[in-house]
């Protein structure tokens, strides 16, 4: 393989997706009160197949939102406090007998 995508393959996949969309529309239009649950399942399955065949285009869109307000000065101060606490812990650990930790 040369690494290039065959144009026939691409057009076949596009036609396949279009056919799934047309089938879903056909199912939805022909649904009635007795078959609505089955139709919903069929349409959901077609959507799943389409989303898995082209997740970037048809997959669920993930929206990330973050509203965090932190000033750089506060973040640096908290980081320095954590480092200070860790240094104190290390200093205490170095004074303890190795027997406190058990066999190594």
DSSP the chain: --SPPPHHHHHHHHHHHHHHHHHHHHHHHT--TTTHHHHHHHHHHHHHHHHHHSHHHHSPPP---------HHHHHHHHHHHHHHHHHHHHHHHHS-GGGG---
102 — pLDDT class (breaks 50, 70, 90): low
Alpha-carbon distance 89 to 87, whole Å? 5
In this prediction, residue 92 carries a pLDDT of 80
Cβ count within 10 A of residue 49 = 13
Note the pTM of the prediction, 2 decimals. 0.48
10 — pLDDT class (breaks 50, 70, 90): confident
Cα distances (angstroms) measured from residue 27 to each of 17, 19, 35, 83: 15, 12, 10, 63
In this prediction, residue 98 carries a pLDDT of 63
């Amino acid at each position: 393989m040369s690494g290039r995508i065959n144009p026939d393959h691409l057009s076949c996949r596009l036609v396949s997706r279009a056919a799934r969309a047309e089938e879903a529309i056909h199912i939805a239009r022909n649904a009635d009160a007795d078959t609505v649950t089955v139709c919903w399942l069929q349409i959901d399955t077609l959507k799943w197949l389409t989303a898995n065949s082209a997740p970037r285009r048809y997959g669920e869109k993930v929206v990330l939102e973050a509203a965090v307000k932190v000033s750089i000065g506060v973040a640096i101060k908290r980081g320095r406090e954590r480092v200070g606490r860790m240094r104190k812990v290390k200093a205490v650990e170095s004074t303890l007998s190795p027997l406190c930790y058990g066999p190594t």
